[in-house]
Amino acid sequence: MELQELDVIGIKRGRLGQMKPETRKGYILLCALLWSAITFLLLQHFVLTPVVVEGQSMTPALKPGDCRLVNCWLPLFRSYHRGDIVVIRDRKKQELMVKRIVGLPSDCVQVRRGLVYINGRPLNEAYLPSQTYTEPRKLGNQTFQIDRNCFFVLGDNRSASDDSRSYGEVNRADLLGLISQRRLF
């Protein structure tokens, strides 16, 4: 028995060559559209996912209605950094949240006198409007030691944000990706 070669789309070369030119063009177009749709869906789900910002917790950096891309792929190649804006999966509420990473694994975080302290030093938060006051909420004045593979996140609009001051650290597994700095539209 003789093996027949297969072309890229899986049809025996002889059969594709026997099709009428119009049918062959239509078949090739259909296959190209199908592969494009599959590629788009995979990219959208696993690499770049569009999100629309809801709520005021990240103003002024992100405003309600802003459409941004979430890069789900980049964190596989580099670690998260302080200041990164990330999308978080809240398992209890079954919703997504957008917050800024301020505390990294093994950091000691404390909120006192309206400022965030990381490892005993005030955090430089140039992205916040001047005179922003950070309330400690449930943390009180205690120092919070961040576990391995966890992060401490805050919203930029501190008075309107439900964040790590209320629910504690966020596990890396719940970070879906990085928010792009540019608006889509």
- Specify whether the CB–CB gap between 56 and 98 falls below 8 A: no
- Specify whether the CB–CB gap between 46 and 72 falls below 8 A: yes
- Assess whether 12 carries a catalytic annotation: no
Q: How far is Cα 169 from Cα 147, in angstroms, rounded to an integer?
A: 8
Taking the alpha carbons at both ends of the chain, their separation in whole angstroms is: 59
Active-site entry in 20, 92, 99, 159: 99
Q: Kindly give, in sequence order, each residue whose CB lies less than 8 Å from that of residue 50, ignoring residues fewer than 6 positions away.
A: 44, 67, 68, 69, 70, 184
Written as six digits, the tokens of 87 are 């999308």
SS3 call for 164: helix
Active-site entry in 20, 36, 57, 79: 57
How would you label 38-74 residue by residue, b for 16+ Cβ within 10 Å and e otherwise?
A: eeeeeeeeeeebebebebbbbbebbeeebebbbbbee
- Assess whether 57 carries a catalytic annotation: yes
Residues classed as catalytic:
57, 99
